[in-house]
Amino acid sequence: MEIPITEYLEQLVAANREDSGETAQYIPEFAQADPDRLAVAFATPDGRVYCAGDVETEFSIQSISKPFTYALAIIDHGLAHVLEHVDVEPSGDAFNEISLDPETGRPMNPMINAGAIAVHGLLTGADREARDERLLSFYSRLAGRRLEVDEKVHASELSEAHRNTAIAYMLKSLGKLEGDPVDVVHGYTRQCSVNVTVRDLARMAAALSAGGRAPDGTQVIDPGVNRHVLSVMATCGMYDSSGEWLTRVGIPAKSGVSGGLLGVLPGQGGIAAFSPRLDAHGNSVRGIRIFERMNQHMGLHLM
């Protein structure tokens, strides 16, 4: 019997529309986002996608880019080299905190800004443009379609990138940043400004669920690297509420400040939600609620 997945997702969207939380305000472009948008999608490892709500709405990927860039840096350099620059310990701090190991100067993990900036600096490529293009085509292969950067969001991000630039210079002074700090922040904010829909995110999550195999069947991420990335997402993907998330929902996940949320069911598929109102940690309020409901209905929890 065919399970009516789309009807189920439509019911989820209809039943979880109550409002709370605020859209991110710290970047001018976010303050203008429509707070009432809501969408959810599920993708199978072979690329079938079921979705409901505002499924055509594009939004910037933001921090959901972090696990994918991390995967590419490990592909480029091997895990040992990447670990010399960024640790894999949950920080318990906010996403923009300067969480560095006091002894080594390494950022605590690659899912917070400090770690993600160090990771971006590791990407190989002849210059800024070449690195940006490599990253964009890597994300695009996982999403199964060509993705593009939202230039307005990127300009908006850059206009407010003072803290991220400070973090990059701090990392440089500690010997944990390869490349020029300004160049790296330019590229890091560009990776955050890639536009996606929930459908794209669900497919990217499904690729992680399939051991790094993209929807078209090509192996984009080595299975060992993929497992490492999923492990870090499980412990660090939801910032300073990662522990609460892992106990309540129990799957590897990553959130972004524009309201996206992606979760991975290893071997079974990827789930994505989008709703721009955020809680105090910077995670989507209705996105979290939708994952919690799905967990109640279907037992997503891996433990």
Contact window for ligand DON (CB under 6 A) among 69-77, 169-177, 195-203, 252-260: 252-260
Rounded CA separation 34/158 (Å) = 22
Q: Token pair 């192996």 is at which residue?
A: 219
Q: Give catalytic residue positions.
A: 63, 66, 188, 239, 257
Out of 62, 91, 165, 241, point to the residue binding ligand DON (CB under 6 A). 62
CB 215 within 8 A of CB 206: yes
Instruction: State the minimum distance, in angstroms, from the CB of residue 121 to ligand DON.
Output: 14
Site for ligand DON (CB under 6 A): how many residues? 12
Q: What does the DSSP assignment read for 125-185?
A: -SSHHHHHHHHHHHHHHHHTS---B-HHHHHHHHHTTHHHHHHHHHHHHTT---S-HHHHH
Rule CB under 6 A: say whether 157 interacts with ligand DON: yes
Question: Among 67, 212, 282, 287, which residue sits at the site for ligand DON (rule: CB under 6 A)?
Answer: 282
Handedness of CA 136, 274, 197, 243 (dihedral sign): positive
255 sits near ligand DON (criterion: CB under 6 A): yes
Per-residue x/- mask for ligand DON, residues 180 to 209, rule CB under 6 A?
A: ---------x--x-----------------
- Size (the chain), residues: 303
Q: Does 242 bind ligand DON (CB under 6 A)?
A: no
Question: What is the end-to-end Cα distance of the chain in Å, rounded?
Answer: 28
113: contact with ligand DON by CB under 6 A: yes
Contacting residues toward ligand DON, per CB under 6 A: 62-63, 95, 113, 157, 164, 189, 192, 255-257, 282
